[in-house]
Amino acid sequence: MNSDNAKHIVTRDKKKEVFVNAYDEHFDKIYRFIYFKVGNTEEAQDLTSATFLKAWNHIKNNKVRKKTLRALIYKIARNTVIDFYRSKSAGGQNSAAIDTLDRAINIADEKQDLIRETELASDISLIEKRLTELKDEYREIIILRYTEELSIGEIAKILDKSKGNVRVLAYRALKALRDVMEPDGG
């Protein structure tokens, strides 16, 4: 019995180590990913914490491979945001239009903060604003592919799509972004 307990403790410690390493390595990325989805620091913070907590609960009860851990955490983050929006509309805000407007307003507010915080201020704030004009799907893939620079394969796992789909999606999203960046059709 004792050695069983010891073994159990060793595995659990190992898992803790794996998790904490993953946490440190991916925390900023997950936060950013969620932030671009919800457009608001406070919510992004809450949802990021919730995501990692869920990730820990998952890791401690299941086998996980280090290689796929990042994709897993992204998936959890994605689902967490989805749940968040679902419960939001269940709570009474039903118009999707209101949601996007809220988010645009929030991002505009955040924009003010960002301008003060970063050197590349003007470039970032413009592109951020344009990003919110895109639909969720496009914004999501742009962040994953061009900001976080994940591989097509990994993105495919996260979004549960085929690699081909992902490539096409990325191409279209980028094009859409270019279109809103240059409304005069340049």
Partner 1 sequence: MNEKELISQLNNLKNIKPDDTWKRESRDILLSQISAGDYSSEISERRFAVSYYLRNFFHQPVLVVSVILLAVLGGGIFSVGAARDTKPGDSLYIAKIISEKAQLAVTFNEKDKAKLGIEFAGNRAKEIARVLAEESGDDKEVKVEKLARSFKKEISAAKTRLKNIKVIKDDKKEKEGVESVQEENAAEQEDNTQVFSANLGKKDKGMQVYTADNGGSETSSSAAADDSADAAPENSVAGDSGNDVEQVLGEAEELFARKDYDGTLNKLEEVNNIIDHIDGAADGETQSESATTTEEVEVLGVSGEAGADSATTTGDNPLK
Q: Work out whether 16 is an interface residue with partner 1 (CB under 8 A).
A: yes
Considering only 1-9, 96-104, 118-126, which stretch makes contact with partner 1 by CB under 8 A?
A: 118-126
Please give the sequence-ordered ranges of beta strands (E in DSSP) within 63-149, or none if there are none: none
Q: Work out whether 58 is an interface residue with partner 1 (CB under 8 A).
A: yes
Q: Work out whether 62 is an interface residue with partner 1 (CB under 8 A).
A: yes
Measured distance CA(121)–CA(116) in Å, rounded: 7
Burial group, residue 185, by CB count within 10 angstroms (0-12, 13-18, 19+): exposed
Q: Work out whether 182 is an interface residue with partner 1 (CB under 8 A).
A: yes
Q: Work out whether 171 is an interface residue with partner 1 (CB under 8 A).
A: no
Q: Work out whether 46 is an interface residue with partner 1 (CB under 8 A).
A: yes
Buried b (16+ CB within 10 A) or exposed e, 96-129: eeebeeebeebbeebbeeeeeeeeeeeeebeebe
Residue partners of 4: CB distance under 8 A and separation at least 6: none
Q: Work out whether 14 is an interface residue with partner 1 (CB under 8 A).
A: no
Single residue of 9, 10, 20, 115 touching partner 1 by CB under 8 A: 20
Contact yes or no for 39/110 (Cβ under 8 A): yes
CB of 27 to partner 1, least distance (A): 7
The one-letter amino acid at 35: Y
Closest CA to 30 of 154, 136, 148: 148
Single residue of 7, 14, 86, 135 touching partner 1 by CB under 8 A: 86
Contact set with partner 1 (CB under 8 A): 16, 19-20, 23, 27-28, 31-32, 35-36, 41, 43-50, 52-54, 56-58, 60-62, 72, 75-76, 79, 82-84, 86-88, 91-93, 114, 118, 120, 123-124, 127-128, 142-143, 146-149, 160, 174, 177-178, 181-182, 186
